Amino acid sequence: MRYLPLAQADREAMLATIGAPDIDALFIDVPESARLGGPIAGLPNHSPEMLVERELAAMAGKNLTAGTVPFFVGAGAYKHHVPASVDHIIQRGEFLTAYTPYQPEIAQGTLQVLFEFQTQVARLTGMEVANASMYDGSTAMTEAVFMARRVTRRKKAIVSGGVHPHYVAVLNTLTRFTDDEVLTHTPSLTSGTPGDDMTTLIAAIDTETSCVVVQNPNIFGHVADLTPLAEAAHAAGALLIVVVTEVISLGAVKSPGEMGADIVVGEGQSIGNGLNFGGPYLGLFACRDKHVRQMPGRLCGETVDADGKRGFVLTLSTREQHIRREKATSNICTNSGLCALAFSVHMTLLGEKGLRQLAAINHARAVQLAERLARIPGVELVTQRFFNEFTLKLPVEARPVIRKLADKGVLGGVSLGRLFPGVAELTHGMVVAVTETATDNDFDAFEDALDEVLA
């Protein structure tokens, strides 16, 4: 077996050193009722690399891949071009097969990357400090709500209807079992400003409120000025949590930090990471300096070694589970280290100049397509101020339309019916994402196909 170096002679010599008659003697503590006589039934035996590859490739071949069709699916995960050097670097064994940097003297590579990543994320979000990453955007948002509770010592979170419904669902799952109060809102497809419920949110803020959670651009693609919301939250002693699911937008849209956010969480997949059917992704988490000791997750900090040389370590670990156990700020242990590396490499390749240009391309292409699709009879462009994603209201239910588009070889977007099951007002809505990867031919194919499906 190719992954097992021990030869039978080694095993025998080692058993002799141990003083055990056979391997079974080492499993003596296993209760008799649980001992198995041989390999577990119902599974195949070992297989050569070539056959494993053939079988998995056959499964992969049954999927319609984004790169082979006109592709406009977004809603929290985005198809962007990832430079070849990113994947090369994350496959270096020294990064790929290292562990969490618990022995900093021989993990400076990972640690310096994390320090640089934290700096990049803080600047991108317009915040002062960022952690070394979380599982994904949705879990980062839930952790942010719990952090706001620790900071404010209040338990009521107010959540905008414009937040990704999966993110809200995750928050609802975890607060179902705590004494947190979560006030959610059902979004509406208001013409021009879908999902913008700022007036309602501001009215709901009171002295019990720990935080207001809002997404920008929101799930419908709408971009809002969050400054009035930040002011209202702060006046009541509450925090503003801003969720960003498309980080490329931060190269074009005023940052949450500039609009007064106290905590920014996001899904970092767009930079450096592929679609991967939903994971692994990269949770971003940034906040103000004054709240850093309430932050969840790992943090890398600068220090010096015994010779006075600059070096990096994991720090403030007294917040974490392995020290604090049941009093920890979070139970998180593993994060998304390698996805953070991919993000950081891609961000380094882009730099500010590249990021701004990439964001500008995304925005311009989205505007072009939105205006074309809006000319199809019966189709309304609901989102007016958007970055690279917008909502269309169709004359019919969107979910079957998207299936029919797929039959025509066009992956045209996400139906709001799938995202918000049971909300009748949204069933005609479709969210369309446009990135730098879409060509003019893709635009033509999409327009023609949608025209035909709706005809």
Partner 1 sequence: MSMNNIGRVTRLSGDQLPELPGGVTFTGNRALMLEEPLLFELGSTDRCGVDLQSVPEAMDRLGDLARTAPIDLPGLSEPETVRHYTRLSRQNYAIDLGIFPLGSCTMKHNPRLNEKMARLPGFADIHPLQPQATVQGALELIDRLAYWLMTLTGMPAVAMSPKAGAHGELCGMLAIRAALDARGDSRKVVLVPESAHGTNPATAAFCGFTVENIPANARGRVDVDALKARLGPDVAAVMITNPNTCGLFEPDLVDICAAVHAAGGFVYCDGANFNANVGRVRPGDLGIDAMHINLHKTFSTPHGGGGPGSGPVVFSEALAPFAPLPFVRKTREGFELVEEMQARESADHNHSFGRMVAFHGQMGMFVRALAYMMSHGADGLRQVAEDAVLNANYMLASLKDIYTAPFAETGPCMHEALFADDFLGPVGLTTLDLAKALIDEGFHPMTVYFPLVVHGAMLVEPTETESKASLDQLIGAMRSVAERMLASPNDFRTSPHLAPRRRLDETAAARKPVLGYKAA
Residues from 142 through 161 that contact partner 1 (CB under 8 A): none
Q: Least separation, in Å, of the C-beta of 119 and partner 1?
A: 4
Question: Cα 210 vs. chain centroid, distance in angstroms?
Answer: 24
If you ran DSSP here, which 8-state letter would residue 67 be given?
G
Q: Least separation, in Å, of the C-beta of 220 and partner 1?
A: 14
CB neighbour class for 259 (10 Å; exposed up to 12, middle 13-18, buried from 19):
buried
Question: Cα 438 vs. chain centroid, distance in angstroms?
Answer: 22
Contacts (Cβ under 8 Å, ≥6 apart) of 78: 246, 248, 269, 270, 275, 388, 433, 435
Residue 354 in the binding site for partner 1 (CB under 8 A): yes
Of 91 and 199, nearer to partner 1 (C-beta) is 91
- What's the N-to-C CA distance of the chain in angstroms? 59
Q: Least separation, in Å, of the C-beta of 376 and partner 1?
A: 18
Whether the CA torsion 434, 438, 444, 450 is positive or negative: it is negative
CA distance 295 to 291: 7
Question: x-or-dash pattern for partner 1, window 106-135, by CB under 8 A?
Answer: xxxxx-xx-xx-xxx-xxx---xxx-xx-x
Of 47 and 186, nearer to partner 1 (C-beta) is 47
Segment (H or E) for 93: helix 93-96
Residue 88 in the binding site for partner 1 (CB under 8 A): yes
Is residue 233 within 8 Å of 240, Cβ to Cβ?
yes
Residues 170-229 that bind partner 1 (CB under 8 A): 170, 172-174, 176-179, 223-225
Count the neighbouring beta carbons within 10 Å of the beta carbon of residue 24: 10
If you ran DSSP here, which 8-state letter would residue 255 be given?
P
Token digits of residue 53: 């590859």
Q: Which of 200, 303, 395, 452 binds partner 1 (CB under 8 A)?
A: 303
Question: x-or-dash pattern for partner 1, window 361-400, by CB under 8 A?
Answer: x-xxx-xx--x------------xxxx-------------
Q: Least separation, in Å, of the C-beta of 386 and partner 1?
A: 6
Q: Which of 206, 302, 425, 444 binds partner 1 (CB under 8 A)?
A: 302
Residues 40-79 that bind partner 1 (CB under 8 A): 40-47, 49, 52-53, 55-68, 71, 73, 75-77, 79
Helix (H, G, I), strand (E, B) or coil at 78: coil
Q: Which of 202, 236, 328, 379 binds partner 1 (CB under 8 A)?
A: 328
If you ran DSSP here, which 8-state letter would residue 40 be given?
P
Helix (H, G, I), strand (E, B) or coil at 359: helix
Q: Which of 70, 161, 162, 251 binds partner 1 (CB under 8 A)?
A: 251
| Residue type, position 375, single letter | R
**Interface region with partner 1, contact rule CB under 8 A, candidates 28-36, 184-192, 228-236, 447-455:** 28-36
Of 212 and 434, nearer to partner 1 (C-beta) is 434
Q: Which of 1, 21, 424, 455 binds partner 1 (CB under 8 A)?
A: 1
Of 76 and 212, nearer to partner 1 (C-beta) is 76
